[in-house]
Amino acid sequence: MSTAGALQAIDASLDYLSRIVSAQKNSSHLDFDRLLIAYLETRRQLAKSFRELASLVLVKASERINEARADIEGHMRSEFGGIVPDRLLEVRGYATVHALLLEYLASHRGEPVAASRLRVLVGDQVHTERRVRELRDLGFPVTWKRVAGEDQYVLETADPDLDQAARSQLALNIRADKHLSKDARGSFLELTRR
């Protein structure tokens, strides 16, 4: 989809809701369920369209997160290679949602960004705030504060702390690995605490 197509979809969704509301204003009987269904459908379509628009506008999103992943993996190999199994020296996960959130926060570096804005970027997903906090495991210094009753997130710098990220990723991988003995898990986790 193009930017124009996403904007057209947004316009069509709003037009749809506007027509339903107008019909209800002119009716002698308010059909609340019809309004509710129209609102929910519009909200769903708007969330989808805004997510597509965000993907188009924040085109460098995957570049920034992929570069961070590669740098972190390189740092993990240099710090822990030959000490822990190679399968533990990978950055796993961090999909498109993380990439979009990171890119948007990076474009507003040092500024508080409302959680409600971040949710719009990813199609109103429920766990948006968790995905923002997970960026910390990639070494990005994301802070949180509450302003005027709303959660706000600030990315201090777009450069990840590779040492912190390598230790976080290794710890996550160690905890998730079902093939490690209890002793190996404990000694490997100790490496991440130094």
Confidence of residue 89 (pLDDT cuts 50, 70, 90): very high
Looking at residue 59, its pLDDT comes to 65
The token pair that represents 85 in the structure block = 């199994």
CB 16 within 8 A of CB 38: yes
Q: Look at residues 137, 133, 132, 131 and name the one whose alpha carbon lies nearest to residue 69.
A: 137
Q: Return the amino acid letter for 163.
A: D
Q: Provide the whole-model pTM.
A: 0.81
**Fold that domain 61-191 belongs to in CATH:** Arc Repressor Mutant, subunit A (1.10.10)
Rounded CA-CA distance 80/93 in Å is 20
Task: Assign 108 to helix, strand or coil.
Answer: coil
Task: Assign 31 to helix, strand or coil.
Answer: coil
CA angle 85, 86, 91 (to 5 degrees): 120
Looking at residue 120, its pLDDT comes to 87
Q: Is residue 95 scored above 70 in pLDDT?
A: yes
Q: Parse the chain into domains and list their residue ranges.
A: 3-57, 61-191
pLDDT, tens only, 42-85: 998 998 898 888 888 876 667 889 999 999 999 999 999 999 99
Residue listed under structure tokens 């960026």: 135
